[in-house]
Structure 1
Amino acid sequence: QTLTAYLVPFAAMNLWHGALSDAMGRRRVVIGSLVVLLIASVGAALATSIEALMGFRVIQGAASGVGLVVGRAMVRDVYEGAQAQRVMAQVSALFAIAPAVAPVIGGWLHELFGWRSVFGFLAILSTLLLVWSHLGLPETLPAAQRHPLHLGRLLRSYLETMTDGAFLAAAGAATFNFLGVFLYISSAPRFLLEHLQLRETQFLWLFGPMTAGMMLGAAASGHLAGRLSPMRTLGAGYLLMLGAAAANGLFHALHGAAVPWSVLPIAVYSFGMALSMPTLTLLSLDLHPTRKGLASSCQAFLLTTGNAVTAGVLAPLLNTTPLRLAIGQLSLALVGLGFLGIFLHLSRRPTSRHPATV
């Protein structure tokens, strides 16, 4: 219940963080959200009733998405071309790794110190980020480039962005690629405890290789920026994702679940996903260069919605067997590839205003 109380405002506010930063500046929105997150984390740690805990979780959710949304917009404010891909690779790695690492850290904190320690840890982390941002975070959006919070114009901008076929295709490709990883994150308890017969303290069997794959994939994306064209980078990413998911399905069609063979394809898939994510993120942001914050908000909203559907619907349907999970991962990657094909088709129209490369 507290997770739902967190995720609903998290998804809803993802639509607004970017627009607020387009109007007020990036730095002010980041620092303000960190202050709110710190207060909510302390409140949750000290909560004496479930109602109070739920309320503070709602506030946490509303403030937490700012880093993902505004961080991506800030990268595009400052960097162009290959350098933008290098920096976006680092940002994408952090936000892709977080859902994999967080359950491990939270599980150990809960095991050693109880549930309040999780929120205490978040309060300490929020404090450190707040101090760091106050001292070192520059403003990347000049006042002359900001857009006033005029409701009518804002709604028109949302409508323009969320009905832009090329934007939806690029963002959809990135979303479905990541859902191939998130399917296993949301199915981790059943996959590890029931299918692999591991203990609760052995979740690193999944999250360790998955995190390593995402870190290495992001590093490879940054290294290849300027050396390999964006389309070739995407081609390599999809080759790895589809190959790994197919191998995952073939193994579980012939064998029962076993470590390390059941987790190695997930690591390779994660590498391919992280390799392609920065390029897809930049392609979609570049379609709306004057409202990068709002476009980043729409990206994050689509991703968060996909995560919610995967956790609530797909994971319970597919995690009954390892083979179903593998087929689900392959299907999600194929949908992502289909969205990339739509983006390329739309961007190559003679009358299109959309660029085909970063």
Structure 2
Amino acid sequence: MKEMEENKKKLELGKQQNKTRVEDLRKKLENLEASGEDSKQKEKLQADLNKLIKEEKEWRLKEAEIEKQEKATPWNVDTLSKDGFTKTSINKYTRTDADLTEEQKEEKQRNFVKNYEKDIQKFGMFRRWEDSQKILVDNPHLVCEEAANYLAIWCIDLEVEEKSSLMEQVAHQTIVLQFILELAKSMKQDPRACVRPFFAKLSKDDPEYQTGFNDEWRSFIKRVKERAQARLDRAMAETVKEMEAERQARLGPGGLDPVEVFESLPPEVKECFEAKDIPMLQRVLSAMDPKEGEEILKKCIDSGLWIPDAKKHEEEQRKLAEAQSPADEGSENNEEKDEPVYETVKEDGTSV
């Protein structure tokens, strides 16, 4: 690594010297052409310039070769760290989570969030590399799986809440942590020791590495959107299931939904039910076309909005409950069924 850095310095120095000489010769040639002189000196300057241009191409080839070697260099502490952060300052990382049960992992996650949630959220709002590196160096406890898990779940929550812009911001920081954790795994080092090497790699002019990071970021955003949609779909399915259960529970004796039947009634019939005025309902139905009135009345009965002979219905329900009771197993429950008789109500609202 040290040898490569020295070669890069020599290359930069050579390129700069070559560039300076080329500019100098071009100015001299321009001055000769402006003066109108056509001398051997001009020919010599042109020959020197052509030679320097050729050397400039050779410098570019050397630069491309060094960049190729640098990209091919494997990731390790020696290649990623800068002065002041050497291999001797990194401790071996012993993974202990593999020995934990699922319950212990969940408890560890809950405790971590309880203690450091504000710190995690603060990190999630940063975007500049310098700011992200500083907060992780100052708060090394954030460099862990628990923090990455929290950020990933937070991203899904934000997308469900339709806060997509904020979700993409937090997703960026999630990938930062995940890259650091993956680097630690590959190097078998403590993740906290890989913070500076990771940002050192990003700070270099390495389009390929930047592209890899951005690709993973975009891929993660796509996965978050898919997970958020799946969560919404599950919630919608549960809501539909609960609504259907409620509907089934309120169906009348004829299998009709009283809510749906009520919404389908003519306004004047609705008014009767809202006022709970049975005499008014009887008058309204009597004033209708007989066939239409019968259809409306049948729907009301089948949905339970109207109960023929309410007193008898209540008595039958009471006897049925008693028959199902172990203490009343011997009671008679076979009664002769009468034709439906519709109850009437006095003006004070009591049944007759």
TM range, normalised to the smaller chain? Answer: under 0.3
Whose relative contact order is higher, 1 or 2, with alpha carbons under 8 Å and at least 6 apart?
A: 1
In proportion to residue count, which structure has more helix?
A: 1
Please tell me whether Structure 1 or Structure 2 has the larger radius of gyration of its CA atoms.
2
So what's the TM-score if we normalise by structure 1?
Answer: 0.24
